[in-house]
Amino acid sequence: MNLSEKENRNRKEEDQRVVAICEEIVFRNDTNGYTVAEFKTRGNRNGRFTGVGAMPFISAGETVDLFGKWTDHPVYGRQLRVERFTLHHEVSESELTRYLSSGSIPWIGPKTARKIVERFGKETLNVLRDHPDRLQTIRGISARKAAEISGVFRQKGEFQELSLLLSSYGFGAARIMSVYKRFGPNATSVLRKNPYLLVSEIHGIGFLTADRLARSMGYDAASPFRVGSAILYLVSISENEGNTFVRADQLLKEAVRLLEAGESRRFPDEKEHIFEREVRFDHTDMISSFFDRNDTGNIQPEKKKDETFFISEKTVIDGLNYLLQTARIIAYRTDKDGIVEFERTDSMDDRLKVALPRTFEAEISAGGALVREQMIEETKSSEPSVGNEKDCGDKIREISRSLSIDLSDEQYKALLSAVQSPRSVITGGPGTGKTTIVAVLVCYFGEKNEKVVLCAPTGRAAKRLSEACGYAAGTIHRLLEVGRPDSSGSGEAFFGRNEDNPIEADVVIVDETSMLDTILLDALLKALPKGCRIVFIGDKDQLPSVSAGNVLSDIISSGIIPCTRLVTIYRQAQRSRIVLSAHSVLSGKEMIFDPSFESDCMFISKRNTEEIAEAVKRLYAEVLPDIYGINPLREAMVLCPSRKGAAGITNLNLILQEAYGILSDRHIKSRGFRFCVGDRVMQIRNDYELAYVNADGTRGQGVFNGELGVIRELDPRAIELVVETDDKRMVTYDSERLEDLEPAYAITVHKSQGSEFPVVILAIPGGPPMLYNRNLLYTAITRARQRLFVVSDRRTLQMMIRNRSQAQRDTSLKDFLIYFSRKDVQN
């Protein structure tokens, strides 16, 4: 799609054009093409300057048109920040000889360069790329060398062609590089055949972006590629909201709307943001003129926004059947007759459930694994040879006395269930003695010479568990040796521990089970050796997992797995207003505040978002360090339900960074935030390949969603920084992975799950009832260990306490548990 004259004129007004020769590549990130290079202005010997930006495949000696803005970097001085570039098509033979002599092209030195240019003249670049047979006529260039030289120039051309295709749709250089790496040198032709592969194969690209590209290519609105991609997109978005399936009738309505008008009532804004630096190409100076090529993949103008298509329900049903036949989706029902899968369907009603295959398989596998061992044990328990309850009970009381623990009846019942059942659940709020139970269990099984493994979904939860009971604990991810094999391009987790390589344990105790998602539960159960006992501990009133599933709630509500509820608040916890407030909120009563400076639970009343933001800033930067002697970076966390607004975490992170004095001229800008040494940061996506170095020098891979750390080193020129995580691992982030890093002076309540902080500042501006409910407030309160400051309006707090509603997740684990527990299924 050629840019209009107006668009070209606007670009020229915005960016300065510099025709220059690349003299040296100072730095290049091969992953996303970010480059620092030294240039010399063409025709001006003294016109040397540094260019920075996304310039993949530019080589020393090439003449290019650079478009960008001059900036004064606080460390490196005056630079041209390159926004887009093209290879200059008016290249003299002397410039071409100098370029080929630069050493950036394999097998070509100065003498060979002169021979090539003398022989082929203006055809040189065309010959180098498309006619390696003609190149072999040059003495010293064999068939193998000619093929290698040709490959270099084809790579340049193919990447430029892909860039021309995608840059008009907001793709930055890093995203284009990821597409190029995923599909290889034929990426452009692959996307022309099926642009919707972008949705399923490239992280962060959604249906709407791929659809705009496909429509510009003239794709049929009822194409099975298009309809199938829309269905997969909607199911994936639903899964991102925590559901393990979508009801078919709802999916049908949303798919018709999305396919007809390019929008969805349920998902009005596609959450796909391309944050990395963009590289744009001027379509009037295309690479075809430089390489003497024809078809460069010009995109036809996009259809107008008000253009719509008619999509029948039958078209969507046909699309669903296409996905069923290609095993890319699962359709099933759960009813009194059991679980019925469909290879095709003629209707989409509310009884039909549609799920992604891996999620369905994990959920049904987990259900079977949970019930199977339980049923075997129940059969054994009816036999006289099995140890009786009295022996177990006596041992529990003996151990508790040795630990100076006075067990309550409900704690005793929970322990007895845990030691007698292969699967058990213990649930309770803060201060109800869950940690005490873990300590007794560790000793009980230890005296029986059984190996106990403690784990939790997050590093902070595992650390807290270890500190509380004095026994080593780790994350479930590390227990399962999660990673991704080199041969896999799926982006899915690979678990080194599984049925063929189980973990070494007799008993596994899982804390913070409310955070456990379906995929992780299934992987954990598959990795248990035969006969291994598992105890799930958690708080059923916490928010459910970030990923798909409602594991703890489903297990409890099924009634299949033995469950003990702890409700008594013990004496030590009764002195904590934080604990009392949490339980008070659960019962629909107001929080318990004390305005004195010695209080562990204080309320700061503010009426609007600006006042809330200002109060949070003063608490963080002045009150905590000056009055309480608390280092907020190490000991405090600001929580907020939402991202947007003056008191949302996006703005709070900006003002807290500035208020605490971290902001520096030496920084890296990403996603609108200037990262500096000393900044508190959080990983926001599971990255199974990201390398780290432990404190003892050993190395590993895998940094996971929600892990916190502090920036220790930073290189603005290389766009690279080093983060020390809370568990003392050093992780290096290049410019591509910066999009997975967020500032973490303030985080959402959802992101705080599984963590506790000595001090919590809870900012609660007004918000929607669906989000601002009792469950969320309870979760936020229970993140504070020593002090809690609530900054809000009393009416907002009262509204949240009264609001018992919360978004219900569509999951099938409960149904599967009930199904597998049936006698006819067991037999």
pLDDT band at 266 (very low <50, low <70, confident <90, very high): very low
Tens digit of pLDDT for each residue in 38-66?
999 987 766 889 998 878 888 888 888 88
* One domain for residues 186 and 122: no
Q: Which residues does 201 contact at the CB level (< 8 Å), separation at least 6?
A: 182, 183, 489
Residues 562 and 604 in one domain: no
- 264-293: string of b/e by CB count within 10 Å (b at 16+)? beebeebebebebbbbbbbbebbbbebbbb
Q: In what order do the strands lie in the sheet with 330-335?
A: 246-247, 353-355, 330-335, 338-342
Amino acid occupying residue 477: H
Residue 188 and residue 147 share a domain = no
Distance, in Å, from the CA atom of 359 to the CA atom of 367, rounded to the nearest integer, reads 12
- Quick check: 268 pLDDT over 50? no
Do 18 and 151 belong together in one domain? Answer: yes
**Closest C-alpha to 810, from 369, 348, 357, 334:** 334
Pick the closest to residue 162 from 63, 297, 48, 283 (CA basis).
297
What confidence score (pLDDT) does residue 220 get? Answer: 86
Domain end residue (candidates: 146, 164, 182):
164
Mean pLDDT to the nearest integer, 820-824: 76
pLDDT (0 to 100) of residue 276: 27
pLDDT value at residue 510 = 97
CA 264 to chain CA mean position, Å: 23
Would 753 be classed as within a structural domain? Answer: yes
CB atoms within 10 A of CB 133: 12
pLDDT band at 238 (very low <50, low <70, confident <90, very high): very high
What distance separates the 2 farthest-apart alpha carbons in the chain?
A: 98
Q: Are residues 549 and 688 in the same domain?
A: no
Q: Which residues of 746-762 are buried (b: 16+ CB within 10 A; e: fewer)?
A: bbbbbbbbbbbbebbbb
- The reply to whether 229 and 181 lie within a common domain is yes
Per-residue pLDDT for 336 more than 80? no
Contact 545, 514 (CB under 8 A): yes
The per-residue pLDDT for 383 is 46
Q: What pLDDT, on a 0 to 100 scale, did the predictor assign at position 763?
A: 96
Report the C-alpha gap between 17 and 126 in whole angstroms: 26
Tokens coding 654:
């900006």
Q: Average pLDDT for residues 105-120, to the nearest whole number?
A: 88
Residue type, 293: R
Structure token digits, residue 48? 């040397």
- Band (289; pLDDT cuts 50, 70, 90): very low
Q: Tell me, what's the pLDDT at 260?
A: 87
Position 280 pLDDT exceeds 70: no
Same domain, 262 and 368: no
* Residue 205 pLDDT grade (very low, low, confident, very high; cuts 50, 70, 90): confident
Here the CATH number for the domain that contains residue 392 is: 3.40.50.300
Query: Over the stretch 639-664, which tens digit does the pLDDT of each residue have?
Result: 999 999 999 999 999 999 998 877 78
| Alpha-helical regions (H) of 494-629 | 518-526, 551-558, 571-574, 577-586, 609-618
Count the alpha carbons within 13 Å of 576 in the hemisphere toward its beta carbon. Answer: 19
Q: How far apart are CA 357 and CA 490, in angstroms?
A: 13
Q: Which of 132, 164, 196 is the last residue of a domain?
A: 164
Within a 13 Å sphere around the CA of 754, how many CA atoms are in the beta-carbon half? 28
Determine the angle formed by the axes of helices 313-325 and 224-240, rounding to 10 degrees: 80
For 481, half-sphere exposure in the C-beta direction (CA atoms, 13 angstrom radius) is 9
Beta bridge partners, 753, equal none
Closest CA to 517 of 568, 552, 488: 552
- The full 3-state SS of 222-235, as one line of letters, equals CCHHHHHHHHHHHH
pLDDT at residue 293, rounded to an integer: 31
3-state secondary structure 624-654: HHHHCCCCHHHHEEEEECCCCCCCCHHHHHH
Q: Return the percent helix, strand and coil in the chain, to nearest 5.
A: 40, 20, 40
- What pLDDT, on a 0 to 100 scale, did the predictor assign at position 569? 83
Tokens of 692: 């780290």
Query: In this structure, are 33 and 97 located in the same domain?
Result: yes
| pLDDT for the residue 286 | 28
Across residues 571-595, what is the average pLDDT?
87
CA dihedral 798, 804, 807, 809 (to 10 degrees): 150
Q: HSE (CB half, 13 Å, CA atoms) of 776?
A: 27
Query: 748 pairs with which residues across the strands?
Result: 640
432 SS3 class: coil
| Per-residue burial over 578-611, b = 16 or more CB atoms within 10 Å of its CB, e = otherwise | bbbbbbbbbeeeebbbeeeeebbbbbbebeebeb
How far apart are alpha carbons 658 and 155 in whole angstroms?
Answer: 44
Q: What is the average pLDDT score of the chain? A: 84
169, part of any domain: no
**Into how many domains does the chain fold?**
4
Note the pLDDT tens digit of each residue in 552-577. 999 999 999 999 999 988 756 667 89
DSSP 167: G
d(CA 394, CA 417) in angstroms, rounded, equals 14
CATH of the domain at 33: 2.40.50
Judge whether 471 lies within some domain.
Answer: yes
Q: How would DSSP label each residue in 244-269?
A: S-EEHHHHHHHHHHHHHHS--SSS-S
Q: Looking at the structure, tell me whether residues 548 and 580 fall in a common domain.
A: no
Distance from C-alpha of 390 to C-alpha of 379, rounded to nearest angstrom? 19
Within-domain flag for 235: yes
Tokens standing for residue 172: 């930055």
pLDDT band at residue 110 under the 50/70/90 scheme: confident
pLDDT digits (tens, 9 = 90+) for 501-541: 999 999 999 999 999 999 999 999 999 999 999 999 999 99
353 and 237 within one domain: yes
Distance set, CA 707 to CA 475, 493, 519, 724 (Å): 11, 17, 19, 10
Q: Considering only residues 773 and 177, tell me which one the structure prediction assigns the higher pLDDT.
A: 773
CB hemisphere CA count around 130 (13 angstroms): 11
Q: Is 682 helix (H, G, I), strand (E, B) or coil?
A: strand
Q: Which two tokens stand for residue 535?
A: 């105890």
Question: For residue range 396-414, what is the model confidence (pLDDT) as tens digits?
Answer: 999 989 988 888 899 999 9
**What is the rounded CA–CA span in Å between residue 347 and residue 325?**
16
Question: In one letter, which amino acid is 17?
Answer: R
135 and 260 belong to one structural domain: no
Residue 355 inside a domain? The answer is: yes
Q: Is residue 250 part of a domain?
A: yes
Give me the mean pLDDT over the 586-602 stretch.
92
Two tokens, residue 254: 């949303």
Tell me what pLDDT residue 456 has: 93
Cα dihedral value 66, 67, 69, 73, nearest 10: -30
- Residues 545, 637: one domain? no
Query: Which structural domain, as residue segments, surrounds residue 136?
Result: 5-164
Q: Domain boundary at 164, 183, 211, which?
A: 164
Ranked by mean pLDDT, which of 217-226, 352-361, 562-571, 659-668 comes out on top? 352-361
* Alpha-carbon distances of 595 from 599, 613, 788, 790, rounded to whole Å: 7, 20, 12, 11
- Let me know how long the chain is: 827
Average pLDDT over residues 714-721: 85
Beta-strand relationship, 494-495 and 708-715? unpaired
Q: Would you say residue 595 has pLDDT above 80?
A: yes
The helix/strand count (H/E) of the chain reads as: 31, 31
Predicted pLDDT of residue 376: 66
Q: What is the pLDDT at residue 302?
A: 42
